Structure 1
Amino acid sequence: MSDVFFEELDIPKPDYNLGVGSDSHGAQTGKMLIEIEKILLRDKPDLVLVYGDTNSTLAGSLAASKLHIKTAHVEAGLRSFDREMPEEINRVLTDNVSDLLFCPTETAVLNLKKEGITKGVYNVGDVMLDSLKYNIKIAEQKATILKELNLNSKEYIVATVHRASNADSFENLSSIIKAFCHAGVPIVFTVHPRTEKYLKQYGLWDKLREKVKVIPPLGYLEMLKLMAHAKKILTDSGGVQKEAYMLGVPCITMRENTEWVETIEDGGNVLVGANYEKIMDAILNFEGGKAKGNVFGNGDACVKILEILMTAI
């Protein structure tokens, strides 16, 4: 799935490919830890920069800290306070071994302070806003997804489902798909391969395709344009929650909690879990709210991070 992003955004191919595919959390993290350590021992970098909350984030930060190499974490301080989420474990552990912690919001800074982490903490804003502001004009000019799918602006809902708590659960996935089919509004569902596997396994695939426009995952620019022109967005993704907020599109989050509490507090996002009635109510009635400010910064997070890194090395 990653190839399209490299091509579309003209990103140079990585110098190293760890060759670690899908596996259990422990096996995947362990394999990456071994391979990253080999690279760090060979290249001897001054600093290791990790991003987000994936298993690679944790593997990179652990490998660096055990070799006494400075570690910087972009998107530090996020907390959903749900230890059943693998991402939450990755965030907490990564923050505790990092030397520089680049927080996207003031809430993230306060979360770290409550845990006794105050040294090397910076509120720089969110790099995702940097990317969105840079690419939205390009997406509007180049992306043809609305024409390809015969969609009119603000007359459809975009949906994504990928989180294990939803995709792997027959009860949750059935409830979500039932709501999609009864929405009464055209839904464009970009289906993650993992979710597609379970939809077919649970016998939900054919029913879904009868009622919903199902498409494969899109490139960044096509997805950005699709979301920007949506009436609402249904998701369980943390990143999509943020992008919806930044684009001013009402977001309905099919989770019981979120690390992006600012989107809830500002009125642009609502939590509905996998409950059919709550999802339907939000589809029909949730209109979102007007953003009160730049909670994710001004779109210059990358500049601030670079300036701090230059003095730290």
Structure 2
Amino acid sequence: MQITIVAGARPNFIKIAPIIKEIEKKKNEGYDLNYRLVHTGQHYDKKLSATFFDELSIPDPNVNLNVGSGTQAEQTAAIMIGFEKELQAFPTDLVIVVGDVTSTMACSIVAKKLHIKVAHVEAGIRSGDLKMPEEINRMVTDSITDYFFTTSKLANNNLMQLGINEKQIFFVGNVMIDTLLSKEKDFRQPKAWQELNLKSKDYFVLTLHRPSNVDEESHFKNMLNEIITSSRNKPIIFPVHPRTKKILDTLDINFENLHFVEPLSYLEFNYLVKHAFAVLTDSGGITEEATMLNVPCMTFRNSTERPETCDIGTNVLVGSSIEKIKKSFEKLFDGNWKKGAYPELWDGKASERIIEEIIKIYNL
């Protein structure tokens, strides 16, 4: 059996690593499993791409489509053109896409138009916010997917409400957690740890990149002001996403305890998360990592596609309301943040379950 695995951006790399490891394991056990890894080049910054491949022991991709930057439409079109040529040159039995980035949607469309089966890892999650490009990507991908691998029973329900046959849905757990648990022992201090004299549980990690938070300059500046004011002078480490950096460069942001750092590798970033007093973010994936590392997490969004991080984990949605941000920090400093637990099947074995199901589906 021939499988094509698609990766395009940071969250994808984290998700494909354990899947590839499991395919190689099963192949060594004698199963007829072969794969071809396609990197679309959606993330092209070395820190956001090549470093992740090295640290997560992902083999070099068989091809990099090198699509680079562009508008949503330009990037989608470039991925589709490149991936169509790839599939025509290297036929496959199954395309595996992961997550909800532009590459996920674009490659699913191409595969289906070439009559190739699609498996979506992390299927069925929904934020309900159609202003998020990722929500469109999820909806389109799930509308044409053949096999749905989910991280929660809520995701199963979302899919069944769309009329998806229950036999096509497989609740397997979270492959991001597979990677987190297997790599936790390898987390390492970034340079900023020594340079800023950081101490465990005495600083914040901040990430912001959603258009709703950073595109409107006055809103972005007001949010940062409130975060700084409420932080009680604890250091705030802000690894700056390239998209956010362009906006920050136009603002006059200068606070003593706010430290901008270059994008960090996977092992460095999660070292910071593990030892942080709290995580401040608008990313979905980081809320999952914070939940598993049992670190308080504030999410600057009004909705989330990962409600289990709020219902079960350490995450709380605080939106962008200045008053709510202030109250959330007060609760954190008062020691009243909720205690988190681990969601069901977030046990490091999701990729095993995925490959076992594929073996059953294809009678290997």
Give the equivalent residue in structure 2 for 1:130: 178
Give the equivalent residue in structure 2 for 1:217: 263
CA gap 1:168/1:113 in 2 versus in 1, 3 angstroms: same
Structure 1, 299-308 or 275-284: larger mean CA deviation: 275-284
Please give the secondary structure, in 1, of the residue aligned with 2:57. Answer: coil
Give the equivalent residue in structure 2 for 1:311: 360
**Match for 1:176: what amino acid?**
M
Shift of 1:289: 2.3
Give the equivalent residue in structure 1 for 2:222: 175
Give the equivalent residue in structure 2 for 1:74: 121
CA gap 1:268/1:296 in 2 versus in 1, 3 angstroms: farther
Q: How far apart in 2 are the matches of 1:78 and 1:267?
A: 16
Q: How far apart in 2 are the matches of 1:143 and 1:163?
A: 24
Q: How far apart in 1 are the matches of 2:161 and 2:187?
A: 40
Q: How does 1:1-313 map to 2 (within 5 A)?
A: 1=45, 2-117=49-164, 118-139=166-187, 146-182=193-229, 183-184=231-232, 185-201=234-250, 203-205=251-253, 207-208=254-255, 210-266=256-312, 268-286=314-332, 287-313=336-362
**Match for 2:344: what amino acid?**
V
Q: How far apart in 2 are the matches of 1:171 and 1:264?
A: 29
Please give the secondary structure, in 1, of the residue aligned with 2:184. Answer: helix
The answer to whether the Cα contact below 8 Å between 1:272 and 1:279 also exists between their aligned partners in 2 is yes
Shift of 1:40: 0.7
Shift of 1:69: 0.4
Give the equivalent residue in structure 1 for 2:16: none
Please give the secondary structure, in 1, of the residue aligned with 2:180. Answer: helix
- Give a deviation string over 1:25-68, Cα, whole Å, max 9, x none: 11111111111011111111010000000110001110111111
TM-score w.r.t. the length of structure 1 is 0.94
Q: How far apart in 1 are the matches of 2:311 and 2:150?
A: 18
Q: How far apart in 1 are the matches of 2:182 and 2:299?
A: 26
**Match for 1:67: what amino acid?**
L
Please give the secondary structure, in 1, of the residue aligned with 2:220. Answer: helix
Gap runs ≥5 in structure 1? none
Gap runs ≥5 in structure 2? 1-44
CA gap 1:296/1:82 in 2 versus in 1, 3 angstroms: farther
Shift of 1:293: 4.2
Q: How far apart in 1 are the matches of 2:196 and 2:161?
A: 48
Shift of 1:107: 1.0
Identical pairs, percent: 43
Please give the secondary structure, in 2, of the residue aligned with 1:49. Answer: strand
CA gap 1:144/1:212 in 2 versus in 1, 3 angstroms: closer
Shift of 1:296: 4.8
Count, aligned residues: 309
TM-score w.r.t. the length of structure 2 is 0.81
Q: How far apart in 1 are the matches of 2:227 and 2:339?
A: 26
Structure 1, 295-304 or 151-160: larger mean CA deviation: 295-304
- Give a deviation string over 1:251-281, Cα, whole Å, max 9, x none: 1000111001111112511111222222222
Shift of 1:13: 1.8
Structure 1, 272-281 or 108-117: larger mean CA deviation: 272-281
Q: How far apart in 1 are the matches of 2:191 and 2:153?
A: 37
Shift of 1:291: 2.8
CA gap 1:244/1:267 in 2 versus in 1, 3 angstroms: closer
Please give the secondary structure, in 2, of the residue aligned with 1:158. Answer: strand
Q: How far apart in 1 are the matches of 2:152 and 2:337?
A: 20
